[in-house]
Amino acid sequence: EAGVAQSPRYKIIEKRQSVAFWCNPISGHATLYWYQQILGQGPKLLIQFQNNGVVDDSQLPKDRFSAERLKGVDSTLKIQPAKLEDSAVYLCASSLGDTWGETQYFGPGTRLLVL
Amino acid sequence: GENVEQHPSTLSVQEGDSAVIKCTYSDSASNYFPWYKQELGKGPQLIIDIRSNVGEKKDQRIAVTLNKTAKHFSLHITETQPEDSAVYFCAASEGGADGLTFGKGTHLIIQP
């Protein structure tokens, strides 16, 4: 079974530039999550989709971050404009999303460095 | 919202010895508690999880215990091996499709 795919793996940009990350979840997984992991910390949930609808985006900095999940499969996360403090690993995860399918499977992440 | 505290931040043990990592959570509504292992340059990988209707779960050298009254849960690794060296994260959620709240992680170092 193929895992969660993310691209690019690495990205270096200057502050005030924009950047986009892509995620392809495990086939059949209804729920997709984006987490931000700052160096030395645990992942923090940014946004959660159930199919193509947003379930929770309470921790997403909406003035600069946006995300979409068209057709309930792939998802993109965008930052515009980027700040120095956005340097982090952006992890995508997916799950079946029901009581007995709680396990979240993570992709390898996209490492973003903002200069 | 939920808050998860994890200790210690770094743990160094001799190969073959046991390692214990402890977490506490704040939200009494949480009932799903997974543990993830993260190796350098990789995404977190689930190693074991426990639900609130169970007090203990074991999978070979790994075990997790949960005390809902005290709101704490622990990861136990026995007979540690060099490949156990990694960062371990505990997490909590209300279960189902809910997002996870993670602890800050424990860097486990296995000394040969």
Does the beta-carbon distance from B89 to A109 stay under 8 Å? no
- Scanning every residue of chain A, which has its alpha carbon at the shortest distance from the alpha carbon of B102? A42
pLDDT digits (tens, 9 = 90+) for A20-36: 999 999 999 999 999 99
Whether residue A100 has pLDDT greater than 70: no
Write out pLDDT tens, residues B55-96.
999 999 999 999 999 999 999 999 999 999 999 999 999 887
How far is residue A74's CA from residue A69's CA, in Å, rounded to a whole number?
6
Q: Are B25 and B85 in contact (CB under 8 A)?
A: no
Residues of B in contact with A97 (CB under 8 A): 96-97
Shortest alpha-carbon distance between residue A57 and chain B (Å): 10
Residue B25, chain A, CB below 8 Å: the answer is: no
A5-14 pLDDT, tens digit each = 999 999 999 9
Please tell me the distance in Å from B2's CA to the nearest CA on chain A: 12
Query: Could you read off the pLDDT of B7-50 as tens digits, one per residue?
Result: 999 999 999 999 999 999 999 999 999 999 999 999 999 999 99
Residue B97 to residue A40, Cβ atoms within 8 A:
no
Mark A31-52 as b/e (b = at least 16 C-beta within 10 Å). Answer: bbbbbbbeeeebbbbbbbbeee
Contacts of B103 (CB under 8 A, 6+ apart): A42, B4, B5, B6, B23, B89, B90, B91
Chain A CB contacts of B93 under 8 Å are 102
Share of chain A above pLDDT 70, in %: 97
Length of chain B (residues): 112
Mean pLDDT of A36-56: 95
- A-B C-beta contacts closer than 8 Å: 63
**Mean of pLDDT values over A84-104:** 89
Distance CA B102, CA A5 (A): 22
